[in-house]
Amino acid sequence: MSEFFAAVLSADGSEYEPLSLRSIFASFNRHLKEKDYPEQIIESPCFNKTREALKAKQKELKSLGKGSKPNAAHSLSDEEVDLLYERGEFGTHSARALVNMLWWKNTTHFGLRGCRENRDVRWGDIRLRMDTSGLEFLEYTERQTKTRSGENPRDLRKVKPTMWPCNDRKRDPILAYKRFAEKRPPEACTPDSPFYLGIDHTKHPSIWFTKQPMGKNTINNLLKNMCRNAGIRDEEQKLSNHSARKTMVKKLKENHIPDTDIIQVTGHNNLMSLNTYDELSNDRMRRMSGILSGSDNNKANDSSTPGSGLSGLLSGSAISGGTFNITVNACQSSTLLPTWSSTTNIQAEKRKRVILQSDSDDD
């Protein structure tokens, strides 16, 4: 096996990417494990030579410029997602737009991997439920996945991901799900029926889909096709179904959702797996470049930047020792605080409810 990793080439005669070799190594380990082979090649001393050969090959490939993930999928910006809605690629007005929208919602809210896991999902895996207040939501029950193959029956998601309604009816996943249920053939609404169905092109007014599952290639190219139809440029061929998961992780990280919460949605087993999803947007790269060049125009006005202003200066800081002089601007007591006469019974007045008027627009 060590000789294999030292000499293996791809079908076209070119070198593999370092991570591709690692994936091949892991697939060998899974195969041997399924066949009840007594040794684990990822840790057994019997395979030390194989692991050393793999590491040496990966270092060699890195020195040749490999390993920069040239084919890594790109995430979508908020503007590009908005464009998919504006151009009719997402919506409930047609079978294709409905499938596109539900695929996007399922991938980004339930953490489904863009191809196989979406193909494997069944109608009964996603259920319409209602909370105690009467609010409807969708709940996903996971089947076999890349990280949970079913070999260990105790290895389950600790939290079932859910999807909730939104105020924008055009983007509401609950309305889209109900529309999808209405347009499916009744016999395709059993729990074990495929979730994604082929589109019925006979223009039947009440049924938009066939009883047959949607084709593998159709599902695998959903995002690429909808982006092309919406006019989203993909000159580097970096948009794929995996872009949806990258968009989900990027969006949650940008909104300061803890990694421990994010993996409950993505289905990862460890936090380190999220590092592969990290990427900087062009806007942030431009900002960093401006800072390094000494021409950042936003640094004085960016109140959203962590650490800006007095609150940012003091937030999270521990101050001990020293002398501090604090000046408090005096205010007229008549405008903010009640006044007390010398004969006022303070204990009685404390029990009174004092309502102070505010000039805030938020009130």
Confidence check: pLDDT of 330 > 60: no
Boundary of a domain, candidates 277, 309, 336: 277
Residue 285 is assigned to a structural domain of this protein:
no
- pLDDT at residue 252, rounded to an integer: 87
182 torsion bin: left (phi>0), alpha (psi -120 to 50), beta (else): alpha
Residues 181 and 211 in one domain: yes
Boundary of a domain, candidates 255, 277, 299: 277
Q: What CATH number does the domain containing 264 carry? A: 1.10.443.10
- pLDDT at residue 350, rounded to an integer: 45
Gap between the Cα atoms of 90 and 323, Å rounded:
61
Residue 330 is assigned to a structural domain of this protein:
no
Q: Which two tokens stand for residue 259?
A: 């990694």
Q: Which two tokens stand for residue 213?
A: 């599952």
Mean pLDDT for the stretch of residues 145-159 = 54
- pLDDT at residue 270, rounded to an integer: 67
Mean pLDDT for the stretch of residues 103-109 = 93
Confidence check: pLDDT of 77 > 50: yes
Confidence check: pLDDT of 21 > 50: yes
- pLDDT at residue 169, rounded to an integer: 93
Residues 120 and 229 in one domain: yes
Domain count, the chain: 2
User: Which of residues 36 and 279 earns the better pLDDT score?
Assistant: 36
Boundary of a domain, candidates 277, 311, 332: 277
Residue 195 is assigned to a structural domain of this protein:
yes
Residues 84 and 213 in one domain: yes
User: Which of residues 115 and 349 earns the better pLDDT score?
Assistant: 115
Q: Tell me the pLDDT of the chain averaged across its residues.
A: 77
Residues 18 and 122 in one domain: no
Residues 175 and 210 in one domain: yes
User: Which of residues 268 and 335 earns the better pLDDT score?
Assistant: 268
What is the residue whose two structure tokens read 């309502």? 355
Q: Which two tokens stand for residue 228?
A: 């092309």
Residues 85 and 4 in one domain: no
> DSSP class of residue 225?
H
**Over pLDDT 90: what percentage of the chain?**
31
Confidence check: pLDDT of 67 > 80: no
Confidence check: pLDDT of 256 > 90: no
Residues 269 and 150 in one domain: yes
Confidence check: pLDDT of 86 > 90: yes
Residues 85 and 59 in one domain: no
- pLDDT at residue 362, rounded to an integer: 41
The lowest-confidence range among 41-55, 168-182, 261-275, 324-338 is 324-338
Residues 231 and 121 in one domain: yes
Residues 12 and 130 in one domain: no
Query: What is the amino acid identity at position 18?
Result: P
Residues 97 and 29 in one domain: no
The three-class DSSP label of residue 211 is strand
User: Which of residues 333 and 12 earns the better pLDDT score?
Assistant: 12
What is the signed CA dihedral for 208, 211, 214, 215, rounded to 10 degrees? -130
- pLDDT at residue 363, rounded to an integer: 37
Residues 248 and 110 in one domain: yes
Gap between the Cα atoms of 236 and 246, Å rounded:
17
Residue 342 is assigned to a structural domain of this protein:
no
Residue 234 is assigned to a structural domain of this protein:
yes
- pLDDT at residue 304, rounded to an integer: 46
- pLDDT at residue 189, rounded to an integer: 95
List Cα–Cα distances, 202 to 90, 198, 205, in angstroms. Answer: 21, 12, 9
Residue 103 is assigned to a structural domain of this protein:
yes
Residue 360 is assigned to a structural domain of this protein:
no
- pLDDT bracket for residue 312 (50, 70, 90): very low
Residue 130 is assigned to a structural domain of this protein:
yes
Range of the domain at 36: 1-64
